[in-house]
Amino acid sequence: MRTAVIGASGYAGAELLRLLSGHPGFEVKVVSAHSKAGEQVTSIHPQLHNYGGQSFVTFDEIDFSTLDIVFLALPHGESATLIAKIPSTLKVVDLGADFRLEDASQWEKYYGGDHAGVWVYGLPELSSSQREAIKKENRVANPGCYATAISLGLLPAVNFIDVSDIVVVAASGTTGAGRSAKIDLIGSEVMGSLTSYKFGGVHQHTAEIEQTLTAIAKKPAKISFTPILAPMPRGILATLTAQLTQKLTTQQAHEIFSEHYASSFFVDVLPPDQMPKTSSLTGSNRVQMQVAVDEHTNRLIVSVAIDNLGKGAAGQAIQNANLICGFDEAVGLSHDGVGA
């Protein structure tokens, strides 16, 4: 399928290009990045040798009649301004937040500006019906990176935890903040240090996570979410805790999670003696999780790791593209992580 990546100069865009170069069903015809138009792709992403000789183009230079599918890897709020210029016949996967939220007031609270509407939410592991819903659509809203890790980590537990009082502490690599130059993201500031940010429950993925969990649990979900900037380029490690509403042992909780994800190709509930590691997932679309019961406080604890550029962005976008284009879900994504 003839493919365009718009917003390809960023980290998620680069990962899209890397994964698409080895995908048997997608052929990248257009690489767009307005601010880098005219520059060689390899001048910005020297690791992408398969794109040698290819240059970035502006959005206005794209002939959409020659394309079948478009990936949008733009900053939040920018996809909505461009989507009217993309023919409705084309398949689109948007990695931004523009079409994730159903509630316009939540969009205004966390992002500001006008609410663009809502597309099908591209988290296939939510349920078999969600996967089927994605297959029927031409346009998909790719979930956020934190939202992916946290939603998947809590999904099997919604029937035996208090979903109105969930506590999340999650650390992310610096690529999650985008590629724009920021003083607090330079190596001298980040290396050898951890710091919380968007402190006090104001992170924009809060609304997305609560929307997802509320729909699954069929009752209002609330999370207290503290994100942490970690001194690594990529990866997310999330620790989720919630009060149990029934007595469970760690073994029982592990069995429930393992059974829930038994048929999910990309989600691995690890053996009881192993813990998720971000380095095990670098470059992959997989999810690792471990679960335990803190009997002292009667709380469920879940540890979840993903690659924020993989399952948290580009990998998941290709997983969704596979579904809407009729390919097997795992095509081009079955490789393991790089490891330490």
Residues designated catalytic: 145
Q: Residue 289 forms beta bridges with which residues?
A: 269, 304
Q: What angle do CA 301, 306, 310 make, to 5 degrees?
A: 160
Neighbours of 53 (CB within 10 A): 7
Neighbours of 166 (CB within 10 A): 24
How, if at all, do strands 287-294 and 299-306 pair? antiparallel
As a whole number of angstroms, the distance between CA 280 and CA 317 comes to 20
Question: Would you tell me the crossing angle of helices 205-217 and 145-154 to the nearest 10 degrees?
Answer: 30
Strand order in the sheet with 287-294: 195-196, 223-229, 161-172, 236-244, 299-306, 287-294, 267-269
Q: Residue 161 forms beta bridges with which residues?
A: 244
Provide the residue type at 243 as one letter. Answer: Q
As a whole number of angstroms, the distance between CA 320 and CA 6 comes to 17
* 134-140 CB contacts, 8 Å cutoff, 24+ apart: 134/320, 134/323, 134/324, 135/323, 135/324, 135/326, 137/324, 138/88, 138/89, 138/90, 138/91, 138/92, 138/324, 139/91, 139/92, 139/93, 139/94, 139/99, 140/92, 140/93, 140/94, 140/320, 140/321, 140/324
As a whole number of angstroms, the distance between CA 141 and CA 278 comes to 25
